[in-house]
């Protein structure tokens, strides 16, 4: 499965968002054992941002081996991208988060659920931001 995160996509949450969503407005569910590639495309912001999968409030280390962009506390320079791949090996609730100081607290996080079984799914908890292609809002 490939997940593309675009930090600072628009002005939602004062620019502290992924793809225009933040503060847990997106829930991605995958079955345990799935391999996930995250593309972190810091292409719409000049600010530094990172992408990581973490567990627990205030966590600063990836929850899975390799589940973060390089130097997540410093972040990617504006207009750059990086990818990482990890295996969702442990059941539970995690966050896609920016680990640049204060970004996650400002809202730059969404939710990853690793389930025992089932199919991968994405649930949007509000309408997509203007201009986002290929996403549908919940009905």
The CATH number covering residue 118 comes to 2.60.40.420
Question: What integer pLDDT is reported at residue 58 of this predicted model?
Answer: 82
- pTM greater than the 0.85 cutoff: yes
Q: Is residue 42 part of a domain?
A: yes
Alpha-carbon 38 to chain mean position: 8
Measure the CA–CA gap between 19 and 122, rounded to whole angstroms.
13
Q: Encoding tokens for residue 80?
A: 């750059």
Which two structure tokens, joined as six digits, stand for 42? 């810091």
Euclidean distance between the first and final Cα of the chain, in Å?
A: 24
pLDDT averaged over 10-residue windows placed end to end, the chain, 139 residues: 95 95 96 97 95 91 97 96 97 97 96 96 83 51
| Residue 138: predicted pLDDT | 46
Its domain, for residue 22, covers 2-124
pLDDT number for residue 139: 40
Residue 139 lies in a domain: no
Residue 137 counted as domain residue = no
Q: Strand, helix or coil at 102?
A: coil
The answer to whether 4 touches 92, Cβ cutoff 8 Å, is no
Please tell me the predicted confidence (pLDDT) of residue 1: 93
What's the pLDDT score for residue 127?
79
């Amino acid at each position: 499965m490939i997940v593309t995160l675009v930090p600072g996509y628009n002005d939602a949450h004062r620019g502290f968002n992924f793809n225009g969503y933040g503060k847990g407005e997106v829930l991605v569910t995958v079955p345990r054992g799935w391999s996930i590639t995250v593309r972190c495309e810091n292409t719409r912001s000049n600010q530094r941002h990172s992408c990581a999968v973490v567990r627990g409030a205030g966590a600063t280390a990836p929850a899975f081996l390799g589940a973060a962009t390089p130097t997540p506390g410093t972040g990617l320079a504006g207009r750059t991208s990086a990818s990482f791949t990890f295996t969702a090996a442990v059941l539970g609730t995690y966050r896609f988060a920016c680990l640049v100081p204060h970004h996650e607290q400002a809202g730059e996080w969404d939710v990853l659920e690793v389930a025992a079984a089932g199919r991968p799914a994405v649930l949007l908890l509000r309408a997509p931001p203007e201009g986002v292609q290929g996403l549908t809002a919940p009905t």
